[in-house]
Structure 1
């Protein structure tokens, strides 16, 4: 599966939420179907999102690139360190996520 292609398809046909606070809110509420974090996501943001992900059983995926690469993959001219997929649209992106359990929290 080409992650970047699935991200673009999700953005075109589904609904995404960008930004640390918005992603945290979507994950906390269970609205997110998949939460994605870049490798350069700030540690505290990652920790907070991971906790919500476990509590709400929202799958979490670590994008293999930094915020710049994730932003470019989405066709955005800015950094994206965290995002939530609210509606997958016609994509298969949800297959990427793993549901974490409490023993995986640090």
Structure 2
């Protein structure tokens, strides 16, 4: 699966939220179907997202690039350190959550 291609499809046909506060809110409420964290996400934000993703059983995916790369993958001209997928649209992005280790959810 080409993660960047699926991210672009999700962004164009589904519903996503970007940014630490919005992602944390969507994860905490269980609204997120998949939460994505870049390698440059601040540690305290990652810790909070992990805590709530475990509590709400929201799968996490660690994007292999930083915020710049994740932003570019989404066609955004800014850094994206975290994002939540609310509606996958026509993408298969949810499959990323199916391949994650259970130990990512605490």
TM-score, with structure 2 as normaliser: 0.94
Would you say 1:76 and 2:76 are equivalent positions?
yes
Q: How far, CA to CA, are the matches of 2:94 and 2:41 in structure 1?
A: 20
Q: CA RMSD in A?
A: 0.8
Partner of 1:88: 88
Tell me the residue number matched to 1:7. 7
Alpha-carbon offset, residue 80 of structure 1: 0.1
Distance 1:46 1:55 in 2: 14
Query: What is the rounded CA distance, in whole Å, between the counterparts of 1:56 and 1:82 in structure 2?
Result: 17
**Following the alignment from structure 2 to structure 1, what is the Cα–Cα distance between the partners of residues 105 and 41?**
20
Structure 1, unpaired ranges of 5+: none
Unpaired stretches in structure 2, ≥5 consecutive residues: none
Name the TM-score, length of structure 1 as normaliser.
Answer: 0.94
Moved over 4 A (4+): none
Residue 46 to residue 13, structure 1, CA distance change in 2 (3 Å): same
Equivalenced residues, count: 102
| Structure 1 residues 48-59: aligned runs within 5 Å | 48-59=48-59
Task: For 2:26 and 2:6, locate their aligned partners in 1 and report how far apart those are by CA, in whole Å.
Answer: 20
SS in 2 for 1:17: strand
